[in-house]
Each structure stands twice: as structure tokens, then as C-alpha cells.
Amino acid sequence: MTLTESVYLSALAAFLVSGVAAQTAPQYGQCGGMGWTGATICPANWSCIVTNEWYSQCLPGSATTTTVATTTVATSTVGTGSTTASSTSTASGGSATLDPGYSFVRSVEAPTFHQYLESQVLGTASPAVVGDYTNAAQYQVVNGQLIQNAGGTSLYAVVQPPANSTVKKLGVSWSRTPDTLGSFVFSGDSLEWSSPTVPRQQTNAWLVCPSGSAQLLPDINLGAYDYMTPAGCSDTTLNAYTGATAVP
Ligand SMILES: *[C@@H]1O[C@H](CO)[C@@H](O)[C@H](O)[C@H]1NC(C)=O
Ligand SMILES: *[C@@H]1O[C@H](CO)[C@@H](O)[C@H](O)[C@H]1NC(C)=O
């Protein structure tokens, strides 16, 4: 019997024995994720840990008994986890809970895999950066504007206009006034930007480039994806993530 099979069988046994499967998921069983209609509570001293937006699983570790029924219900264990919980899984921490109608936005390619779009100075009008999941900000695209929910106020992503036709990347920063150069859109889950006045080869091509303070700035790549990447930068796309909390 493989490990997977034995885990499955013990989960099944727990499921059959418990008789309260509608309320309590078995050890190592699913306890949440988009479309999940089954049990959302884990056994005592087990925690429901978000794997991704489709799947949360009961894993050993105390923390609190946490309910993750859908993507709109969060493992809000920030600041409440015990030392046991924090050593159990990096996912038991996480960011603030995602508000309905918003998405996290994250890079999906190494070396910035699952770094999240945020403000260099948290929640303020400052350069856009990709960084740690614990500081992940939340976004909506409305009428072509990428809007950051900064504690009740809106910050708009504004794109720096190209100085001349040799410029290959455009910086992005957060502003209290909307962008006038182009439009953002989520195409599927991919964040794209286009402008009637700035030709681009690929509207979902982003670069992340280090700045002096070791922050990684996302830049709009005016060239082709993964072609003639500027020195020090790397290619990525930025994708919406609608898990209950931002996770590494
Ligand atoms: C859960 O953990 C606490 C503290 O370690 C322990 O006292 C308790 O017996 C445990 N409960 C179960 C059901 O294992
Ligand atoms: C184009 O703009 C960049 C950035 O401002 C500048 O470094 C470069 O010298 C300019 N090139 C030309 C040909 O004007």
C-alpha cells in the first residue's frame, strides 16, 4: 500500500467512524476550497490549511480550529497562532483575509514565484513592488484602473510614460489619482495593460527588477516576454489569486 493509499484509507476510516463527517473533516482530509461543500472543520489539534484556492487540507497542528468553507471564509490566524502552529506550515500565517470582489496579485515565475503585488510603503502612494505574502494588498480592476484597497481608500496603479521610443520598461507606482496612459484588465487571471499610445508586443509581459533597497519593482515590459530581458531583471506574469489569504 502506498503512502497515498494509506492516507486515503485512514481518512476514509475516520470519515466512516466519526459519523459527523458533515461537520468535521478527517485527518488529512479536504476541508475547503472553491466549490467544496463538505466538512470544513478539522479534528481537535488539527488545522485547516489553505493549499490553493481549490483545496484546503486538515494537517496536524493546533492553532485554532479553523473554518475554511469557501474562498470568502479565511484562516484568519494572523497573530493568534501558537508556536506549534507556526512550525506546522507557512500557510497557517498568511495575509489579511481577502475582501469579497477583490484579488491578490502575484508573480508566478522564479525568482519571484508567489511574491505579491504591494506598495513599497505599505498601503500608501509609493512605488509598486512585489514582496512578501504577509504584506499582500488586494485589488480590483474597474474601468481599466487597477485599484488597490488600501484600508478603505483607493490607490490607482499609474504607469510611468516612456521618455522616448528606446525605453523598454515602464515603472508602476500607486497614486490617489487614476492612470491616464492606458488600461488594465484581468484576462483570465492574468493582469494585462495596454495603451493606445504605447505599443507593446505582449500585454501580459512583466519584468521584476531590483531597486536600491532590495525591493523588486514590477515593470511593464514593452518588449517580448523572455526576450532581451534587461540586465538584473527577470520575466514574469502577474496573476490574480483569490485564496482566502495570501500564501507563499
Ligand atoms: C490537544 O492538545 C492539547 C495540548 O497539547 C492536549 O492537552 C489535548 O489533549 C489535545 N487534544 C487531542 C484531542 O488530542
Ligand atoms: C531615452 O530615455 C531614457 C530614459 O529616460 C534615457 O536614459 C535615454 O538616454 C533616452 N534615449 C534617447 C535616445 O533619448
Q: What is the residue-averaged pLDDT of the chain?
A: 80
Average pLDDT over residues 172-180: 96
Average pLDDT over residues 105-116: 95
Q: Pick the range with the lowest mean pLDDT from 42-46, 59-63, 126-130.
A: 59-63
pLDDT > 90: percent of the chain: 53
Higher-scoring residue by pLDDT: 61, 181 = 181
Locate the domains of the chain by residue range: 3-60, 73-241
Over the stretch 122-159, which tens digit does the pLDDT of each residue have?
A: 889 999 999 999 999 999 999 999 999 998 889 999 99
Average pLDDT over residues 22-43: 82
Q: From the CB of 44, is ligand 1 less than 6 Å away?
A: yes
Q: From the CB of 163, is ligand 1 less than 6 Å away?
A: no
Higher-scoring residue by pLDDT: 3, 74 = 3
| Residue to mutate, 42, 45, 84, ligand 1, most ligand atoms under 8 Å from C-beta | 45
Please determine, for residue 18, whether its predicted confidence score (pLDDT) is greater than 80.
no
Residue range 73-241 in CATH 2.80.10: yes
Closest by CA to 73, choosing from 242, 248, 247, is: 242
User: Which ligand has an atom closest to residue 164 CA?
Assistant: 2
This prediction has a pTM of 0.61
Query: Phi and psi dihedrals of 221, rounded to 5?
Result: -90, 115
The confidence score (pLDDT) of residue 42 equals 83
Work out which ligand 1 atom sits closest to the CA atom of 45: 1
Work out the pLDDT band at 94, boundaries 50, 70, 90. low
Work out the pLDDT band at 118, boundaries 50, 70, 90. very high
Identify the residue whose C-alpha is closest to ligand 1 atom 13.
44
Question: Hey, which of 74-78, 131-135, 179-183 has the most confident mean pLDDT?
Answer: 179-183
DSSP secondary structure string for all residues of 2-41: -HHHHHHHHHHHHHHHHS-TTTBPPTT-EEE-TT--S--B
Over the stretch 183-219, which tens digit does the pLDDT of each residue have?
A: 999 999 999 999 999 999 999 999 999 887 668 999 9
C-alpha to C-alpha distance for 106 and 248, rounded to whole angstroms: 10
User: Which ligand has an atom closest to residue 162 CA?
Assistant: 2
DSSP secondary structure string for all residues of 123-155: TSSSBEEEE-GGG--EEEEETTEEEEEETTEEE
Work out which ligand 1 atom sits closest to the CA atom of 43: 13
Higher-scoring residue by pLDDT: 76, 138 = 138
The confidence score (pLDDT) of residue 68 equals 37
Please determine, for residue 70, whether its predicted confidence score (pLDDT) is greater than 50.
no
